[in-house]
Amino acid sequence: MNTSDDCCSIQPYFKVHPGKLESFKELCKRFVAQTKNEEDCLYYSFTFHDDEVYCREAYTNANGVLAHLQNIGPILEEALQISDITKLEIHGPKGELKKLKDPLAAFNPEYWTLEYGFRNIPVA
C-alpha cells in the first residue's frame, strides 16, 4: 500500500419505488441535516437520475462510517420503506475495511481496497 490516507467512502445506489421520489427527496434533506455536524464526514450529497439516487459520502476512517450509520439509522429505515439499495460499494484501506465487514454484513456491500493515492484535504 502506497498511501497513509484512512478515508473510507460509501457508494449506495437507491431505486425509489414508483410515485415515491418526492418523499425520498424530503428524506434526503433530513439525511443532509442530520449528517452536517458529523465530525468525521468529509463530504455528503445526493445525485439523481430518474428514479435512481446515489449518495456521495466519505469519512475520515471506518469509525466515522460507523458513527454516521448510527446517526442516520432511523432515517435510513424510512428510506428503505420507499426504496431499495441496488448496489453498495465501500472504498478504503484494507485495515479500515476490515473494521466494517461485520457491522455492514447485512447490507452485503462490495469492498474496494485503496492502495495508491493522496488527499489534499488535511486530516485532523
Q: Per residue in 20-34, pLDDT tens? A: 999 999 999 999 999
- Interior angle at CA 30, CA 78 and CA 58, nearest 5: 95
Confidence check: pLDDT of 17 > 50 = yes
Helix axes 21-35, 62-82, angle to 10 degrees: 160
Q: Per residue in 79-116, pLDDT tens? A: 999 999 999 999 999 999 999 999 999 999 999 999 88
CA–CA dist 26, 47 (Å, integer): 14
So what's the pLDDT on residue 1?
A: 44
Domains of the chain: 8-113 (3.30.70.100)
Interval 33-48 mean pLDDT = 97
pTM: 0.90
